[in-house]
Amino acid sequence: MTPTHLPGRVAIPALPEQTRAPLSATALPAFNSAPEADLRRQLLDCLHSARWTERVAAHRPYPDLDALLAAADEAAYDLTPAELSLALTAETLPALPPDTYEAAYMALDAARAAYEARFGHAFVICLDAINPNERLDHVLTAIRSRLANDPEEERAVAAEELRGLARQRLRQLLEGANPSVRATPGA
């Protein structure tokens, strides 16, 4: 019996960025005009930080995707250690593909547990440039490698990975993964 999820948290994005279609012409205008409360809820799904969400939402309208991503990066760089800890706590492990071997679940669970015991927070990694078939191996290699970091260095690495995840999730949001920011007919 293969488990459907692992206890713990590893953020693995859905698709490599280079395989995504370009954004539609209505995606950014829909983001810029989305109702404030809806947008804030959706931004919290990109990065679980109230201050980051506030800053990204408050700087609308964005002239282009690069400006939005730059603002998101800048807001993420300003997270306090407590805000970073909260954001890391909110990260979850997605289900692995159904054909994943039981041994892979055990290896990932053991590596994740060792990481969390050493650093006191969830392991996060942005895999937007990694082939889906290579992600599990990449995650296991990254956890093992990052276990050698000192806590301060690893906190910086984890913060950078969160920024990458937030960027990818923002792009997914604009691609229409969440209907509240999609353009509506006549908008």
Res 72: pLDDT: 97
Please spell the DSSP secondary structure of 55-104, one letter per residue: HHHHTPPPSSHHHHHHHHHHHHHT--HHHHHHHHHT--PPPPPTT--HHH
Kindly give, in sequence order, each residue whose CB lies less than 8 Å from that of residue 4, ignoring residues fewer than 6 positions away: 95
Res 11: pLDDT: 47
User: Tens of pLDDT along the chain (187 residues)?
Assistant: 333 333 444 444 444 444 455 678 889 999 999 999 999 999 999 999 999 999 999 999 999 999 999 999 999 999 999 999 999 988 876 556 777 788 888 888 899 899 999 998 889 999 888 888 888 888 899 999 999 999 999 999 999 999 999 999 999 999 874 444 543 333 3
Task: Give the chain's largest Cα–Cα span.
Answer: 54
Nearest 10 degrees: Cα torsion 61, 63, 65, 66: -120
